[in-house]
Amino acid sequence: MKNSDFFNQLARNRRSVFPDQFIPGKKVDDNIIKEILTNATWAPDHGKSDPWRFTVFADEGLKKFAYFQSELYKMEAGDSFKEATYIKLQQNPLKASHIISIGMKRTTIKNIPEIEDIIAVGCAIQNIYLSVTAYGLGGYLTTGGITYQEKAKSFFGLDDEDRLLGFFYIGHIGIPPAKAIRIPLDERMSWIN
């Protein structure tokens, strides 16, 4: 198979695999996680600023993450508190092999707009997705829970000007994802010669 064919298959077969679809208790090798994150750091970024910041949670770290996010949610939810959300924030992390917090460290290089740092981290996330797929693993990015809580940032080593962009869950696939359907390219593209 040519490299281009391999990549086309990889990109077109990438799917989100959720915690309930993981094989419970089956751990991904830590060295594979390091390879996946190394691939993430090869994403394009303006000014070579490397704006991505990752915190990896595994083993007992998953319990620490689950406790932190569920308790912060409880503290910040106020009248919007939902017991089901609280329980989900406690239990879902324990279904994953690893969880990676995705942070954006604001670049100190002048004249680079924040959106460009955010886009660079988005490219890193895509590299994570493709790497997870290439390794035959499952994963998904969630931007729910405490992602946009200002009080969450310091737990992940982020400062006020930085952003927490989500959490990437990784595990071995137990229940395969459904086949995806895309709108044909011609309906989403203009071509001008």
Has residue 109 got a pLDDT over 80? no
Domains identified in the chain, total number: 1
- Mean pLDDT across the chain: 95
Has residue 176 got a pLDDT over 80? yes
pLDDT computed for residue 180 by the predictor = 86
Domain limits at 43? 17-175
Residue 9 lies in a domain: no
Q: Which two tokens stand for residue 125?
A: 């996330």
Sort 107 into a burial class: Cβ within 10 Å, 0-12 / 13-18 / 19+.
Answer: buried
> For 14-22, what is the mean pLDDT?
96
Residue 148 lies in a domain: yes
Has residue 58 got a pLDDT over 90? yes
Kindly write down the DSSP assignment for every residue of 130-173, as one continuous string. HHHHHTT-EEEEE--TTTT-GGGGGGGT--TTSEEEEEEEEE-B
Residue 74 lies in a domain: yes
Residue 6 lies in a domain: no
Give the CATH number for residue 121: 3.40.109.10
Strand order in the sheet with 98-104: 52-58, 98-104, 163-171, 138-142
Binning pLDDT at 50, 70 and 90, where does residue 162 land? very high
Phi, psi of 73 (to 5 degrees): -55, -50
Binning pLDDT at 50, 70 and 90, where does residue 46 land? confident
164 and 100 Cβ atoms separated by less than 8 Å = no
Q: What pTM does this model have?
A: 0.94
Residue 34 lies in a domain: yes
Residue 185 lies in a domain: no
pLDDT computed for residue 60 by the predictor = 98
Residue 182 lies in a domain: no
Residue 23 lies in a domain: yes
CA–CA dist 148, 90 (Å, integer): 18
66 and 131 Cβ atoms separated by less than 8 Å = no
pLDDT computed for residue 111 by the predictor = 85
pLDDT computed for residue 47 by the predictor = 84
CA–CA dist 73, 80 (Å, integer): 10
pLDDT tens digits, 64-85: 999 999 999 999 999 999 999 9
